[in-house]
Structure 1
Amino acid sequence: MTDTPGWDEPFVAELGPLRSLQFDGLTVQSVMSVVEPDALALDYTRAMMGFLLFNPHPRHIVMVGLGGGSLAKYCLRTLPETRFTAVEINPAVIALRDRFGIPSDDDRFRVVCADGADYVRDCEDAPDVLLVDGFVAAGLPPRLGSADFYADCCRALTPGGVLVVNHWAGDSRYAVYAARLREAFDGRVLAIGAEDGDNRISFAVSGPSFPPSRGQVLGRSAALSALHSFDVTDIAQRVLGRLDRMMGRRAGGARIES
């Protein structure tokens, strides 16, 4: 274990062309292809990139939870006008950054060793996108599922900014977290599933530009597909499917669920 109680000691595992970050030998936290180190190897990370369907030109992205840096590396390569700040509480995770090809800090990229909830609460440089993927061996840290944290995220974002949260649907408190997220963002929340596990990716928008129209999603998907190596159309179809269900419930007068 690390010197600080409550933090897990990470280790790197190799399986053929894949390199993974793990805490307990049972749950994989991050996966990198050694052949394509900047690719998004897991579907949940590709699903999280769906924020581009809501905000295709973010100026500044803040991510809570560095892991193996898959999303950071991908965004740095494909969004050249975007700054990226990764906030990681566990210094032992940061110490492994070279094993995953995470670049050194520079004008566009920095890694901050801090509690993500504290960082978001005190954030002065409002991000356009907040990515929250802060799992430890025991699951989602309680602070990252709290009502206060989601309210702080909403306040921290620019108008029209997007919060993206990776939840584990198998967590007994998932419904509680989802309800808190909806309350913090006044229902401006949409969630899609990932294909390679029980990950549930929630998108919450901080302004009135929600929900996007079907035409907006399709238009952005077409434009983004030429720029990205993952199947943007597939993510867009999941988003549209959820939008259709949300609109159907709204038309029927039922409470919208994420």
Structure 2
Amino acid sequence: MSGSDCEKRDFRTQFIRVRARLSVTSLGLIVAALGLWLSVPQQRVPAQELSRVLFEKESLYHYVRVVEEGNIRRLQFRRSGIDFEESAINIRNPLDFPLHYYKLMMAGFIHCPNPQRILFVGLGGGTLVRAIRHYYPNVQIDVIELDPVVVEVARAYFGFQEDSRMKVYIRDARVQMNRLAGQGARYDMIFLDAFRGGYIPYHLTTQEFMELVARLLEANGVVVSNLQPGFASYHYQRRTIARVFPSEWAYGRYGNVIVVASRKPQNISREELIKRAEQLQAEKKFSFFLPEVAQLATSGGDYIRQGPILTDDYAPTDVLRSIPQD
């Protein structure tokens, strides 16, 4: 055997010994680490922190889901494999708003601090309706909801309850609103918050619909609309509202923009809105700070004012909703 063969054999022998020692050492480290991990009390995630589905059902209009994560219970509509969050509530503190846009919608009370009658279009889980009932216990509230399954879910999972001053109409909004208008019903505030898996049904966006809203409002009444910016549809919706209502204030910028519009021009400054919010905060003791919402107020300016509006003959909201804006 040559010297080089002996050197190769010695090298292989040493390599095998070193690898064996490393294997034993690695195994020892793994065992030691495992023993240490087992000896330390493990923190378990509480069951209430895990997301779980409480309810699922396909109705005539939506695929409805109720999901709970910790203290937060969420109402979702599933469309095209995507779960759109429609409502949420803190089950331990129903006055704590999990969704920021609820606070923005409360800006309507800055413009109408003492309403007597309120109409809601779109119930969802009823979180906002419940809060308003708490802060304004003597107000008459009417709610219109298209889907009876949504009403069932609001009652069973979100603590929503009708009372002598709160009535729910299970019907298409325009049909029911026409009936209410024919009966001479008038409201100080109308909240528009009807979504169908990420978009507003087109017949609740048009000029004709906004004119129906105006018919249902008292002379000094306001309409509070929940809109989503970032798409071409937003500018069409803002222009349509402005065509019918001479005065409009917007709250928020991303995710949701709440537009408060009135039948009569409101010659009021942002400073006065903040002052009103401070007075309401002192009176109502809101669980959030309403003056912070008032700080977000802008009088128009965040949409393209020139262009077409939505009408019953032209309302391609499904197409416009898919066109992003820079």
Provide TM-score, normalisation by structure 1. 0.86
Partner of 2:48: none
1:171–1:89 CA distance, 2 compared to 1 (3 A): farther
The secondary structure found in structure 1 opposite 2:107 is helix
SS in 2 for 1:238: coil
Q: Which amino acid aligns with 1:193?
A: G
Q: Does 1:84 align with 2:141?
A: yes
- After the TM superposition, which of the residue ranges 175-184 and 122-131 deviates more from structure 2? 122-131
2:319 paired residue number: none
Which 10-residue stretch deviates more, 167-176 or 28-37?
167-176
Tell whether 2:153 aligns with 1:99: no
- The answer to whether the aligner puts 1:235 opposite 2:271 as a matched pair is no
- Of the candidates 209, 225, 245, which is equivalent to residue 281 of structure 2? 225
For the 8 Å contact 1:150–1:181, the answer to whether it is kept is yes
Bigger Rg, structure 1 or 2: 2
Q: Give the conservation status (yes or no) of the 8 Å contact 2:84–2:198.
A: no
Same amino acid, percent of matched pairs: 27
Q: Deviations over 1:48-107 (max 9, x none)?
A: 01011101000011000000101110010011221111110011101112210001x222
Q: CA RMSD in A?
A: 2.2
Aligned length: 240
Structure 1 residue 160: Cα displacement: 1.0
Take 1:220 and 1:92, find their aligned partners in 2: how far apart are those partners?
38
1:189 partner amino acid? E
Which of 260, 266, 283 is equivalent to 1:203?
A: 260
Pair 1:175 & 2:229 matched:
no
Separation in structure 1 between the aligned mates of residue 225 and residue 243 of structure 2, nearest angstrom = 15
Partner of 2:269: 213
2:176 to 100, 107, 119: 119
CA contact (8 A) 1:121 1:153 kept: no
8 Å CA contact 1:9–1:92 kept in 2: the answer is no
Structure with higher RCO (Cα < 8 A, 6+ apart)? 1
* Structure 2 residues without counterparts, runs of 5 or longer: 1-56, 307-326
Local SS of the residue matching 1:159: strand
AA matched with 2:131: Y
Structure 2 partner of 1:250: none
1:2 Cα deviation after fit: 4.7
| Matches of 2:232 and 2:148, distance apart in 1 | 29
Structure 2 partner of 1:251: none
Contact 1:39/1:74 (CA < 8 Å) preserved in 2?
A: no
Secondary structure at 1:158 match in 2: strand
State yes or no: 1:29 paired with 2:86: yes
Given the alignment, which residue of 136, 152, 157 partners 2:217? 157
Q: Give the corresponding residue for 1:57.
A: 114
CA distance in 1, matches of 2:249, 2:204: 18
- Does residue 48 of structure 1 match 2:105? yes
Distance in 2 separating the partners of 1:237 and 1:204: 17
Are the structure 2 counterparts of residues 3 and 75 from structure 1 closer, same or farther at C-alpha, using a change threshold of 3 Å? closer
Which residue of 2 is the match for residue 249 of structure 1? none
For 1:93, the aligned partner's letter is V
SS at match of 1:122: helix
Task: Tell me how far 1:27 sits from its aligned partner.
Answer: 1.7
Deviation at 1:114, TM superposition (A): 1.2
Number of the residue aligned with 2:321: none
State whether residues 229 and 256 of structure 2, in contact with CA within 8 Å, keep that contact through their aligned partners in structure 1: yes
**Bigger mean CA offset, 215-224 vs 18-27:** 215-224
Counterpart-to-counterpart distance in 2, 1:238 and 1:32: 24
